[in-house]
Amino acid sequence: MNNKYILDKALEFIDNNIETELIKIDKTSGSSPRTLDAFMIVYNEDNKQKTIGTIGGGILEFEAVKDAFEFLTKKENYNKKYNLSPEASGGIGMVCGGSVDISFTYLNGNKDFINTLKKEIEDKEINVYIFGAGHVSFDLVEVLYKIGFNCIVIDDREEFANKERFPNAYKVLAEDYNNVFDKINITNKDYIIIVTRGHADDYIVEKNALKTNAAYIGMIGSKNKIKTLHERLKKEENYTDEMISRVHAPIGLAIGAETTEEIAISIAAELILTRAISENRRKIKK
């Protein structure tokens, strides 16, 4: 779940006088289920104990949630280390080993802390520029929003490129593909996805995308279409095979995707992998 969404819900609860406690992983060692910065909130509403988010599920989360409600009752902040080993070894009953340091923060009256966390998240977020606002983009934005990407959707058709169609997009731009690159600032942290409605538009976007320092460029299409566009780029723009090799095409992990929903998931999976590699996540096999 999107961490900013969790924090926004926390702010909403506080504004409605609902007491809320944050559970946040601060340090891990060994084979813990989640990495740093995973967090969730617990709160009481209508005499029921409720949660939003996850720190990995299983016994660790069960124990942490149980403790969080105790700290919430006392309106306390607390730090606790959980030993992820079998109970016989003094742990909480897990077999993965290692340990996790978790902080618990009572959020009511602590909006500055929440906003600081949101700012830290925003500073790490990746912008994904999605060129094309068709069916694949429609499904893709919903997936990427939930996993912490900022989606900027661009299309030259206002009836497609609008906030009503893409409520969870960070931005939606109705701009001509030829001119929009002069109006946006794509950095070496950003990703570009090319899923326009036709070969001509794909060519325009790919040609300009290769002039940026984008960390990732991906384009949808058949192998024949991609070959044709790339030959044209070499002939008309003097791009080399090495330059063009930056483009992931066909885009997405090969999972046999056919529907637009499946294609969106395959693209999202490739972006997750790209992000994980750039962050040097410990679970990536080298």
Q: Looking at the 3D structure of the chain, how many domains does it have?
A: 2
Beta-carbon contacts of 124 under 8 Å, excluding residues fewer than 6 positions away, are none
Please report whether residue 117 resides in a domain: yes
What is the three-class DSSP state of 131?
Answer: strand
Please compute Rg for the chain using Cα positions.
22
pLDDT tens sequence across 61-107? 999 999 999 999 999 999 999 988 776 555 666 666 678 999 999 99
Please report whether residue 286 resides in a domain: no
Q: Which residue, among 50, 68, 245, has the nearest Cα to 82 in the 3D structure?
A: 68
Least confident range of 114-123, 175-184, 253-262: 114-123
pLDDT at 89 (0 to 100): 55
Please report whether residue 283 resides in a domain: no
pLDDT at 180 (0 to 100): 97
**pTM for this one?**
0.81
Whether residue 142 is found in the same domain as residue 249? yes
User: Is pLDDT of 35 > 80?
Assistant: no
Whether residue 152 is found in the same domain as residue 186? yes
Whether residue 104 is found in the same domain as residue 195? no
Please report whether residue 88 resides in a domain: yes
Whether residue 95 is found in the same domain as residue 154? no
Sign of the dihedral defined by the CA atoms of residues 52, 107, 28, 281, in that order:
positive
Please report whether residue 229 resides in a domain: yes
pLDDT at 194 (0 to 100): 98
Q: What span, in angstroms and rounded, lies between the C-alpha atoms of 264 and 259?
A: 9
- Mean pLDDT, the chain, whole residue set: 92
Which token pair is 236? Answer: 């008309």
Please report whether residue 31 resides in a domain: yes
pLDDT tens sequence across 3-22? 888 999 999 999 999 999 99
- Domain extent, residue 246, equals 125-278
